Amino acid sequence: MIRSLARPARQYGLQVVILVAIIVTLVIVAPTFRGEAAIYATLERLVLLGIATAGIAVTMIAAELDLSVGSMAVLAGVVAVQLSGLGLVPSIAIATLVGIVLGAAQGWLIAKLGINSLVFTVGTLILLKGAAWIAAGGAPITVTDFTITDPLLMRFWMFSPLSTVAILVLVAVGVFLVWTKWGREIYAIGGSRPEAIAAGVPIRRPMVVAFAIAGACGALAGALASMKGGSVTPDSYSNLVLSCVAAALVGGISLYGGRGDMINIALGVLIVAVLSAGLSAMGMQSFVSELLTGMLLLAVIVIEFVIGRVLGRRKLRRLQFAAAA
């Protein structure tokens, strides 16, 4: 029994502890952060942060990193707002499609060249940002007919259409990652690429899929957020990628690939979202939550590192004794 708990504990334990600690602390310290309002505020943050983090986390699982997610978001936002005349759903759908296509193209090029995605996406980050600038005409743009975006502002209990979509997207990506062959291939090329290739796993397909998902998520997040706010500027979402990487890492997705699932992503996003919503309810400025997130990130990676070292040493000792036996 204990053995079967060990693995989930190892994978999510730290994050659950942190989340609970934050919630408890906030409930004590912030009298206005309660009940439905609190959950609603948290869930709303899931839209931008959650969806985009899911996308970038998929590339992290593949042992890559898509830094262009923020630029994808702003480009999609601009596209959605410019096309808002077509209606709410079509404009968002087209913007997301742009993200899928661009993301897939990135993934294909990175796989074909065999290049480090960190370096490649620094370039595409700048490139797509420039594209967003041009598409927006260099200035903030707003939705012409606000009635189109009204449905997004509805609220059912603690959910809104946006947070519902966010949750559905997260569930869909989560299922894909763990239950499908294509999803598991992403884990394989992320976990140990040379071994995966030796085993017969193709490289191109999982890379294209991973980056397409990242592009789609980034675009969807940007389109939804922009439509909700009714406007977008070419400078929007430039800090998004750093927040997403932080959320993913806090949640337990490893930068080295092959580890973590949607529960990790969700936990990471929830931790950051709850912290941000709670601090906001306390009247704190946004930099406070960024500061605390940064410290949390450092704490989490140090703890994970130490745990990894301790476990690694134990394994080495076990292997040594096995060889000598």
Find the binding residues for another protein in span 58-77 (CB under 8 A).
65
Task: Select from 14-22, 46-54, 129-137, 158-166 the region that touches another protein (CB under 8 A).
Answer: 129-137
Task: Select from 23-31, 42-50, 86-94, 134-142 the region that touches another protein (CB under 8 A).
Answer: 134-142
Decide if residue 138 touches another protein (CB under 8 A): yes
Task: Select from 51-59, 89-97, 131-139, 215-223 the region that touches another protein (CB under 8 A).
Answer: 131-139
Contact pick of 18, 48, 104, 131 for another protein (by CB under 8 A):
131
Task: Select from 21-29, 96-104, 119-127, 144-152 the region that touches another protein (CB under 8 A).
Answer: 119-127
Instruction: Name residues contacting another protein, limited to 207-266 (CB under 8 A).
Output: 234, 238, 242, 245-246, 249, 255-259
For residues 234 and 251, which CB has a smaller minimum distance to another protein in the complex?
Answer: 234
Residue 44's nearest CA partner among 260, 269, 259, 194 is 269
In sequence order, what are the beta bridge partners of 159? 156
Q: Are 75 and 131 in contact (CB under 8 A)?
A: yes
Site string for another protein, 2-41 (x = CB under 8 A): -----x----------------------------------
Instruction: Name residues contacting another protein, limited to 82-101 (CB under 8 A).
Output: none
Residue 89 C-beta: closest distance to another protein, Å: 28
Q: Please report, for residues 8, 58, 157, 261, the alpha-carbon distance to residue 64 in angstroms, rounded to integers and kept in the order given.
A: 24, 9, 38, 15
Question: Using CA of residue 137, residue 105, residue 249, residue 172, what is the dihedral sign?
Answer: positive
The C-alpha torsion from 208 through 211 and 213 to 218, rounded to 10°, is -150
Decide if residue 130 touches another protein (CB under 8 A): yes
Q: What are the start-end ranges of the H helices in 62-116?
A: 69-82, 88-113
Angle between helices 35-45 and 262-281 (to 10 degrees): 120
Q: Are 274 and 40 in contact (CB under 8 A)?
A: no
